Structure formats: C-alpha cells, structure tokens
Amino acid sequence: MSQSSPASGPETPRVVRLTAPLSEADVRRLRIGDEVLLSGIVYTARDAAHKRLMETLDRGEPLPFPIDGAAIYYVGPTPAKPGQVIGSAGPTTSGRMDAYAPRLIALGQRAMIGKGQRLKAVAEACVTYGCVDLAATGGAGALLARTVKSATVVAYEDLGPEAIRRLEVVDFPCIVALDTTGADLYVAGREQWRTDQA
C-alpha cells in the first residue's frame, strides 16, 4: 500500500508513504531522491546474518522470515535501555551486503535500507526483479529508533546485535538511492555537483 503527495514531475523528488511488506508496483514507481516514510514490518540483517541466510538457501531450507515483499534494514541496534523498544538503530554500510543482496532480490526482496553506494550487480538486480535501495541517515540512530514500535528476535539470537529482528516501524524516513530504472542517487549527485561548478 502506498500514498504520495500531489502529482509532481517525474524528475521532482516526492514524499511517498509505503507500508511493508511491499509490492513490486510500490517500488517500481519510486525514483531516486524520493523521500520515503516507511511503515509496517522491516527485518534487520547485517553481513553475519546474510551469510547464514545464504547457507540456509544453499541447503535448500526455508528462510527464517518471508522474503517476498520484504524490506531489510542493515542495522545492528544497541541494547535497549529500560522503557525503550530498541537501542540506537543507525544504518551500517550497505556495501557489506553486496555479495548477498542480488540473490535475495531475485527471491522477492523489495527494499534494502542502509548507507553508501552499491555495486553494479545490486543495481542490475533492482532493475530486473523490482527492488530499491533506500538510504537512511547515518549518525541519527537514536532518532531513527523512535520510529520503531516493537522489536522481536526471529533468528540467529547468538549473533547478539546482528541477530535478525522483526521491527514494526511507523514513518521510518529514508531516501531512494537506487531505483528500478537503474538510476543511482550517488552518481546523479556527483554529476549535478559538476554541473553546478561549471
């Protein structure tokens, strides 16, 4: 389910509200620079958890959470203080998951949340299968944690902060960094800077 602000040109960033799990139609209409306020179910997983997910697939076993329509947040939250749902929950560097992401995207993952540029293979998988890379603000983990309404460990509890958690979020803020047309916000931003300097 999704909702956007009043009609704007295709090159104009918009504010788009989305609810996860996501559909292919949800993500295919997004463009780089769009601000997304994400609500619903988001799963956490960093590189240690992704490695185990790959091993699970290699054994022909089901993944510990539904991948179709999933949004995965690359985060290892700090322990929650008394009265908190979760501790600081800022994004980790997305490139650490580049070796694993295309396989999950091919299985129906619709969104990745992290920070930093991705490899070409990830961008190509986004185009082919319908997925977006969303950038969250680094250094704002305490603020991002305020959007998390519940957090439950669903797999790999022995990994501590890197265990896979099921988060319920409301209006988690992020920006589309890779869209399904192959556009890359990091590349576009550098090109715009060069144009502005000319």
pLDDT above 80 for 139: no
Q: How confident is the model at residue 5 (pLDDT cuts 50, 70, 90)?
A: very low
pLDDT tens column, 65-89: 999 999 999 999 998 888 899 999 9
pLDDT at residue number 194: 64
pLDDT above 70 for 151: yes
Do the Cβ atoms of 130 and 81 come closer than 8 Å?
no
Annotated catalytic residue 50:
yes
pLDDT at residue number 25: 97
Residue ranges and CATH numbers for the domains of the chain are 19-197 (3.20.130.10)
User: pTM, whole model, 2 decimals?
Assistant: 0.89
pLDDT above 90 for 143: no
Q: Which of 31, 46, 50, 115 is catalytic?
A: 50
Residue entry with tokens 């949340």:
113
Of the chain, the percentage scoring pLDDT greater than 90 comes to 79
Please state whether the peptide bond connecting residue 64 to the residue before it is cis, i.e. omega within 30 degrees of 0.
no
Per the prediction, the chain carries an average pLDDT of 91
